[in-house]
A = this chain, B = another copy of it.
Amino acid sequence: MAEKLTKDLIRGNTDMLVLNFLNEGDSYGYAIAKKIKERSNEAYSINEATLYTVFRRLEKNQDIEGYWGDETQGSRRKYYRITDHGKSALKENIENWNFSKRIIDQLLQGEE
């Protein structure tokens, strides 16, 4: 039985992951989805609907800004860039993630 990254375990981390990718440079949905799959060694594929939900959530929260690319060929792409607000949100998300990991591991350990 192989280990799994279930949807309940990924929950609450998708925003952080997307922000983290955009922090490396502007990108668009399809590319991010592919990168996530690659960089996780196929362990996790973000669902398209989830990804676009994340974009909408982050955009609403002014963590990212979207703009249409001027593709001369291929399908049109909607790029996103991370804002300063998004950068500090990313930082906070990572801190929360590290904190949560520690607490959960502590609860599993037994010792305080």
Contact = CB atoms under 8 A, between A and B. Distances in A.
Most chain B CB inside 10 Å of its own CB: which residue of A11, A17, A41: A11
A5 B40 contact: no
A4 B73 CA distance: 45
Nearest to A3: B99
B11 A8 contact: yes
> Copies of this chain, how many?
2
A21 B103 CA distance: 15
A3 B95 contact: yes
Contact of A6 (B8, B12, B17, B44): B12
B3 A96 contact: yes
Interface of A: 1, 3-13, 16-17, 20, 24, 36, 38-41, 43-44, 92, 94-101, 103-104, 106-108, 110, 112
